[in-house]
Amino acid sequence: QVQLVQSGGEVKKPGASVKVSCKASGSISGISWLRQAPGQGLEWMGWISGPNGKTNYAQKFQGRVTMTTDTSTSTAYMDLRSLRSDDTATYYCARGDYGSGSYYGGFDSWGQGTLVTVSS
């Protein structure tokens, strides 16, 4: 099973940007990014295809998030800009899903999570 290892926690000021990485033990077919605010539920942010870089972002994050991949290192990145205090959350990358349409399956491998704290 593919293992996903994420970068370490970050502390950012409001208005700044954060870039979280997710390195896969094998090739990346597609990676979703999700987040979970402290004590809250899970929120899907979007998906990126490994082979061609096609993306599908949740409308809530359109214009503020950019997802990229580096196939040479099997690493996916999630860049979130204009950070606000309510962006404080643990951010996860996860494998599984085609990122659009209907998919018979769930997110079957997850990174360990990256806590991003936004505070002045």
Residues that bind other proteins (CB under 8 A): 32, 41-44, 47, 56, 58-60, 92, 96-97, 99-108, 110-113
| Spatial separation of the C-alpha atoms in residues 85 and 104, rounded to whole Å | 35
The least CB distance from residue 97 to other proteins, in Å, is 6
The least CB distance from residue 96 to other proteins, in Å, is 8
Rg (CA), the chain: 13
55 or 68: CB nearest other proteins: 55
The least CB distance from residue 13 to other proteins, in Å, is 26
- Whose structure tokens read 């204009």? 82
Which of the 8 DSSP states describes residue 63? T
18 close to 38: Cβ distance less than 8 angstroms = no
60 or 84: CB nearest other proteins: 60
